Amino acid sequence: MNRTDLLQIAQTYGNPTYVYDAHKITSQYERLTNAFKNVSNLKLHYAVKALSNVSILKLMKSLGAGLDTVSIQEVQLGLAAGFSAEDIMYTPNGVSLREIEHAAQLGVKINIDNLSILEQFGSKHPEVPVCIRINPHVMAGGNHNISVGHIDSKFGISIHQIPHVLRIVELTGMHINGIHMHTGSDILDIDVFLYASEILFNTANNFKNLDFIDFGSGFKVPYKKDDIQTNIEELGEKLSTRFNEFCKNYGKELSLNFEPGKFLVSEAGYFLAEVNVVKQTTSTVFAGIDSGFNHLIRPMLYNSYHHIENISNPEGRERYYSVVGYICETDTFGNNRRISEIREGDILKFNNAGAYCFSMASNYNSRYRPAEVLWYENEAHLIRKRETFDDILRNQVEVNLATTKKEKKIPKNA
């Protein structure tokens, strides 16, 4: 997919619009499976929360992936996309026992991350196999916003609470079929990930009839030229060797599971927005676009970097611009970025817009959420219509406040 294709998509479907390259998603999937080719039983569960469009889920299914879900609604999306229940892992956090029971009734794999729910579920449903999510107390990427394995995280059961887990399992007679961890996003150091994996292996030894070990994901992708990223090939070589060794000692061939989201779809996504106004102040040149953090909140929420290009004028003289949105808040996408000369009406392209972008969009300021397009086999396919005003009003219930109040009668002896 080139610049001309993107400009044609912008012209055909309007702006702002998300575009996803199916070829890039496929190549990332194949890169990960090739890195672990020495493991006989590898299973990738795509993290639905990264990008949950049903067409994307169907693409993942065609590649052979399962799904990693975090809500009953994501489970239902997966089933609607044609996934079998046994290919869906359900890993919620902070949900009710009622929701977990609903997921179990649908037949998906259950992953529990706290002692209270583990005991309640095991007591009521000891016949339902359960995976346990542990917290290895290992930081991923060094950022608390995207790391979920540190000691203060709300996610997972602390490795120091394994004796409590074993007690619950013994008392309820429940079957533990998997051990899981997810340290968070932007894993930089493979040795840190391997260290956390050893904690997972040691924990797994406490359970004698496992079917799989789930190592989560969080592999870092590049956001700019020459950016660092997780060396998937080196990780695959080292972890595969250690996993095969563990299975041999364990006495059973287990499945090695991952739940990649960002790794598969981040680089495959582009966000296209039109420039509404170029505004010169005494110190800054602003490029104001027809979008805001209602469509792309990651720069404001996580201080995330998205490379921005002017695809309407790629050969223009480069100047420094602060790219901002139209929301009545501070919504700066990039400060003092060196971009080829921007004119009102130009189309800007944001890179790495495949993961946690549309899925975190909102209707703030009563703005419409954008369209989504899948670039598949050299053709653009609309996979989500742009919202309209009818969508804004759809679930609102109007109350008639114009009714006349009845006059209160005043008692005679008052």
Catalytic (active-site) positions? 328
Distances in Å between the alpha carbon of 301 and those of 297, 308, 323? 6, 18, 16
Say how far apart CA 124 and CA 95 lie, in whole Å: 17
DSSP 251: T
Contact 288, 324 (CB under 8 A): yes
Name the residue with tokens 């065609």.
62
DSSP 96: -
Please report, to the nearest 10 degrees, the dihedral formed by the alpha carbons of residues 231, 234, 235, 240 taken in order.
160
Partners of residue 279 on adjacent β-strands: 286
The helices-and-strands tally (H runs, E runs) of the chain is 12, 18
Burial of 208: CB neighbours in 10 Å, binned 0-12, 13-18, 19+ = exposed
Residue of 322, 295, 329 whose CA lies nearest to 308: 322
